[in-house]
A and B are shown apart, each in its own frame.
Chain A
Amino acid sequence: MNEFFKWEYVITLFPKVLSALPTTLLIVLFATLIGSFLGLIIAYCRIERIPVLNQFSAVYVSFIRGTPILVQMFIVFYGLPSLLGAIGIDISMWDKLYFIYITYGLSTAAYFSEIFRSALSSVPNSQYEAAASIGLTKWQTYRRTLIPQAGKIAFPNLGVSIVNLLQNTSLAFSLGVLDIMGKVQTLGALYYRVLEGYFIAAVIFIVLSISLEKVFDILERRINAPKRIKQNNVQPLQLDRAEAALTVQKNIK
């Protein structure tokens, strides 16, 4: 067992694996951006029940949720060039990273759209009607009443979804992209030390996920903060009263 795992390799390989961290974070960033944008559009189509788009997006979301990201990745990788090639756009020379961005963006869009949809539909209907009654346009209604309220509800779920996305990006290496897992694989082939590489990757993923969760926790608390500040302002007065009441009681005794 002593040959199996060596700490000195962990120390030598750690900076090398860490150098691939930006790739992983970029995948998460782009996927989140594409996902939020497309997800909002899909959620809008489904909430407003726009005739053809509603059914199409329902099928799309069901497909993405029902198939593994690995399969989606290869469908995009093999399918997109031939699909765009039929129109006359040649993307076969693209960097593989772009396909990863597209795949993870499309996949995240489906998950985000469900989150947005449930958050938007949890805002009471009367709010929408009230906004319409004072003459707000649809865009104003969404921007000023629905999205601010739905955002608060959607935020924790988005956090969970993004942490999941981070873990899913570990599959990008099967397309040959040098993210953390890809780097571990290539270093493993170079040094013949795979287990140490996996150990480092696990440590990085654990630290990243836990710190992401913490960041979302803090942000969530900050979003809900204003109410608490008001409560804090009230509290000292109540305490004073309580003390006064206690002293009165003591005096009586």
Chain B
Amino acid sequence: MDFDFAFMFEAFLAALHYLPTTLLLGFLPLVFGSIIGLGIALIRHYKIPILSVLFKWFVTIFKAIPVVLILLVSYLVFSDSVDKIADSLSWSIRFSDLDRRWIAIFALTLYATSGLSEIFRGALASIPKGQIDAAYSIGLTNIQVLRRVMIPQVIPLALPLLNNTLISLIKASSLVSMVSVVDILNGALIEANVNYRYLEAYIAVSLIYWAVCAAIEAVTAGYGKYANKSRRRQFA
């Protein structure tokens, strides 16, 4: 068994060069997905007539589709329709000019949204009904109740759960090489294409993913400790 540590280090450095892309593909879908997911959660929480049923189906369906499929289909649809739409609206955008990363971000957002909306819905449901009644009783409007009572409680509740989504997003971002985006995995593989030392490349990449995910877990654990501490201080 021959294992080339020097090349592994080389691939590691080459992959590290693309770390910003992977982080971007992890964080941006999380942010977009949180915003849309919170919207969906609110719509479903207030049971707005047609939309809530629509989004219920949206969430069930997108929870059941593998992320690869979402990625491949959105790439296919984009590659086919962007040029046509641009033609019909006489824009000067071509598909080939488009940064492929945005397609990946779009697909990952779609993937993250369903899970995130469920997280927010759970958090919304966990707020006791009495608080909302109390807020209405002192004459707050709907939006004020949302802004001053519900959202401030939902976000700390949902924050520890978001780390799971972020980790799964970062892991899912390893698939973007299928839509020809160069992330850390693809970066290392390009390096390995020269001498076919794929094992070293994959191990180097796995170390980076591991480090990133361990860092996210550590930050979450730290936040949990901090939140507990501040809560305790309030009582003291």
Give A contacts to B, CB under 8 Å: 1, 4, 62-63, 65-72, 74-75, 78-79, 82-83, 85-86, 167-168, 170-171, 174, 181, 194-195, 198, 201-202, 205-206, 208-210
Contact A66 B209, beta carbon cutoff 8 Å: yes
A202 and B69 contact, CB distance less than 8 A: yes
Minimum CB–CB distance for B205 against chain A, Å: 6
A-B contact pairs, 29 of them (CB 8 A): A63-B206, A66-B209, A66-B211, A66-B214, A66-B217, A67-B213, A68-B172, A68-B175, A68-B185, A69-B171, A74-B198, A75-B202, A75-B203, A82-B3, A82-B199, A83-B1, A167-B65, A170-B66, A181-B68, A195-B76, A198-B73, A202-B69, A205-B64, A205-B69, A206-B65, A209-B63, A209-B64, A210-B60, A210-B64
A174 to B177 CA separation, bound complex (whole angstroms): 11
Q: Quick check: is B167 within 8 A (CB to CB) of the other chain? A: yes
Q: With A195-B76, A198-B69 given, name 19 new contacts (CB 8 A).
A: A63-B210, A66-B211, A67-B171, A67-B210, A68-B175, A69-B171, A70-B174, A71-B202, A71-B209, A74-B202, A78-B198, A167-B64, A167-B67, A181-B66, A181-B68, A198-B76, A202-B65, A205-B69, A206-B65
CB of B80 closer than 8 Å to a CB of A:
yes
Closest B residue to A84 by CB, please name it: B1
Question: Do B72 and A198 have beta carbons less than 8 Å apart?
Answer: yes
A66 proximity list for chain B (CB < 8 A): 167, 209-214, 217
Query: Smallest CB-CB separation from A213: which chain B residue?
Result: B64
Write out the residue numbers on chain A whose beta carbons fall within 8 Å of the beta carbon of B80: 4
Interface 1/0s, chain B 184-209, versus A by CB < 8 A? 01000000000000110011011001
3 closest Cβ pairs, A-B complex: A66-B213, A170-B66, A209-B64
- Inter-chain CA distance A72–B175, complex, in Å, is 13
State whether A201 and B69 are in contact (beta carbons under 8 Å apart), knowing that A67-B210, A71-B205, A195-B76 are contacts in the complex. Answer: yes
Contacts of A170 in B (CB 8 A): 66, 68-69
Contacting pair A79 B65 (CB below 8 A)? no
A71 with B68: CB separation less than 8 A: no
Across the interface, which residues of A come within 8 angstroms of B3, CB to CB?
82
- In the complex, what distance in Å separates the CA atom of A71 from the CA atom of B184? 11
Q: Which residue of B lies closest to A212 (CB)?
A: B64
Question: Cβ of B138 < 8 Å from any Cβ of A?
Answer: no
Q: Which of B199, B209, B213 has the most CB of A within 10 A?
A: B199
Asked if B89 CB lies within 8 Å of chain A CBs, one says no
Q: How far is the CA of A181 from the CA of B73 in the complex (A)?
A: 12
Contacts of A4 in B (CB 8 A): 80
Given the complex, which residues of B lie within 8 Å of A201, measured CB to CB? 69
- Number of A-B pairs whose CB atoms are under 8 Å? 99
What's the tally of chain B residues with a CB closer than 8 Å to chain A?
A: 39
Q: Nearest Cβ in chain B — how far from A184, in angstroms?
A: 9
Q: Considering the chains assembled together, what is the distance between the CA atoms of A174 and B88 in angstroms?
A: 37
Contact indicator B214/A62 (Cβ below 8 Å): yes
Best-buried of B63, B68, B185, B212 by chain A (most CB within 10 Å): B68
Across the interface, do B206 and A206 meet the contact criterion of CB distance under 8 Å? no
- Interface 1/0s, chain B 157-194, versus A by CB < 8 A? 00000000001000110110010000001000000000
Whether the Cβ atoms of A68 and B174 lie closer than 8 Å is: yes
Cβ of B198: which chain A residues have Cβ within 8 Å of it? 74, 78
B68→A171 contact, CB < 8 A: yes
Please provide the chain B residues from 49 to 68 with a CB less than 8 Å away from any CB of chain A in the complex: 60-61, 63-68
Contact indicator A71/B73 (Cβ below 8 Å): no
**Measured CA separation A69–B217 after assembly (Å):** 18
A238 to B60, CA, bound (A): 40
**Which residues of chain A are within 8 angstroms of B213 by Cβ–Cβ distance?**
65-67
A62 to B192, CA, bound (A): 26
How many Å lie between the Cα of A79 and that of B213 in the bound state? 23
A-chain residues with CB within 8 Å of residue B175 when the two chains form the complex: 68, 70, 171
CB distance from B200 to the nearest CB of A (A): 9
The answer to whether B206 and A75 have CB atoms under 8 Å apart is: yes
Of B1, B2, B202, B211, most A-chain CB atoms within 10 Å: B202
Asked if residues A75 and B214 are in contact (CB atoms below 8 Å), the reply is: no
